[in-house]
Amino acid sequence: MSKKVKSIQENGQNLEYISNDSWIADCQIIANAIRRRVLSHTVKHGGYLSQACSAAEAFSYLYAKGMNLGPSKGPLLPPPFSGSPSIKNREQKSGMLYNGERHPDRDRFFLSPTHYALTLYAALIESGRLGERSLDQFNVDGSTVEMIGGEHSPGHETNGGSFGQTISQAAGVAWARRKKGEKGIVWIFLSDGECQEGQTWEAIMTMSFYRLDNIKIIVDANGQQVDGRTDEVMALRDLEAKFKAFGANTKTIDGHDLKALHKAFAKPHLDKPLVVIANTEPYRGINLLKDRYPNLHYVRFKSEEERENYAKALDNM
């Protein structure tokens, strides 16, 4: 029996395109480059490094394979911050420009834990949507390339800093898009820590109630949050069972396995949102981080020696 036929039999759908795996090598190159770029930035400034380690494959998959986005409409070097949206300030451009123009058939991307902003910027750079010099503006006063992204930050459409809100907003967008007859998918990137927020479950319940099957969610289940290991801060137990119980179609995979990611997102999910729980390691690709485990949320070097070690790791990547 051919691989293709076997796969169709097992999954009940046509996965022919998966049998052509040439994209995987390209995506892995991008994932590695995301880690490298974030590490390079961290060596200089400190930063949200572990998020890049756990989610590099997810972001490379989304931007290089999964999402159907138009070409970026944002300038390679992002404009400075001109003020929050208001009746007096209609000038500030949304960071969503970097995900291409709105189009009925195109997808939309919502980053919920905007603490992953640096990883998102790196993904935009590696997929040619943002100039690499943009990171010089990271967390610089007056810049839009903020540490925890705002609506104006490249690749962002909402301010997700207060957890649990972006998923509900994206659900509203998905309801509205379906109402308008649009074909595009609404993609949401979640982290596992924010599944402790009640609003996350209100949102899943609502997506399921309104049969929003134009939503695909990836959960970066890296098992760590600010205070340490998620199991010790507030254990989530069986995350997949929870999503299923709230009415989502679910799949749990190895989040570093690009082929598994693609296969999971190809799963049919009629009348339900699809939630792919990507089990990941917050030190993947940068073994040095294991020494700090489980305090990985934000990497701030304790000594010059530690910085040197990370600089060496960067040289060896």
Partner 1 sequence: MSAIEIITRVHAKSIEEWGQSNPNALVLSGDLTTSCEVDGFRDKFPDRFLSMGLAEQNMMSFAAGLAREGFIPHVHTFAVFMYRRALDQIEMSIAYPNLPVKLFGFLPGVTTPGGASHQAINDIAVIRSLPNFTILETGDATDVESVIELANSINGPVYIRMVRGALPRLFPAEDKIELNKARVISTGKDIALFSTGICTEEAMRAVELLRICGVSIQHLHVTTLKPFSDPQVISAIKGARFGTISMENHCINGGLGTCISEIIAEHKLDTRLMKIALDDTYLQGASTKFLMRRYNIDALALITQVEKLIGKKLNVSEEDLRQARIDKYFNEKQQEAL
198 binds partner 1 (CB under 8 A): yes
252 binds partner 1 (CB under 8 A): no
Select 113 or 255, whichever has its Cβ closest to partner 1.
Answer: 113
Select 12 or 181, whichever has its Cβ closest to partner 1.
Answer: 181
168 binds partner 1 (CB under 8 A): yes
Task: Return the H-helix or E-strand segment holding 38.
Answer: helix 22-45
Least CB distance to partner 1 at residue 90 (A): 9
User: Could you tell me which residues are beta bridge partners of residue 218?
Assistant: 189, 276
205 binds partner 1 (CB under 8 A): yes
Order of all β-strands in the sheet with 186-191 = 108-111, 186-191, 215-221, 274-279, 249-254
Using the rule CB under 8 A, which residue among 5, 20, 25, 179 binds partner 1? 179
Q: Which positions from 113 through 152 interact with partner 1, judged by CB under 8 A?
A: 151
Using the rule CB under 8 A, which residue among 19, 82, 162, 287 binds partner 1? 162
Report d(CA 139, CA 121) in Å as an integer.
12
C-beta of residue 285 within 8 angstroms of C-beta of residue 56 = yes
176 binds partner 1 (CB under 8 A): yes
Which pair of tokens denotes residue 206? Answer: 């609502």
Q: Which positions from 38 through 97 interact with partner 1, judged by CB under 8 A?
A: 84-87
Select 127 or 166, whichever has its Cβ closest to partner 1.
Answer: 166
Residues 6+ apart with CB under 8 A from 73: 97, 98, 100, 101
**Nearest alpha-carbon partner for 246 in 288, 203, 289:** 203
111 binds partner 1 (CB under 8 A): no
* Helical pair 22-45 and 304-316, crossing angle rounded to 10 deg: 160
Which range of residues in 55-63, 131-139, 200-208, 251-259 is near partner 1 by CB under 8 A?
200-208
Which pair of tokens denotes residue 137? Answer: 């503006």
175 binds partner 1 (CB under 8 A): yes
Which residues of this protein are in contact with partner 1, per CB under 8 A? 84-87, 151, 157-159, 161-162, 164-177, 179-180, 198-199, 202-203, 205-206, 209-210
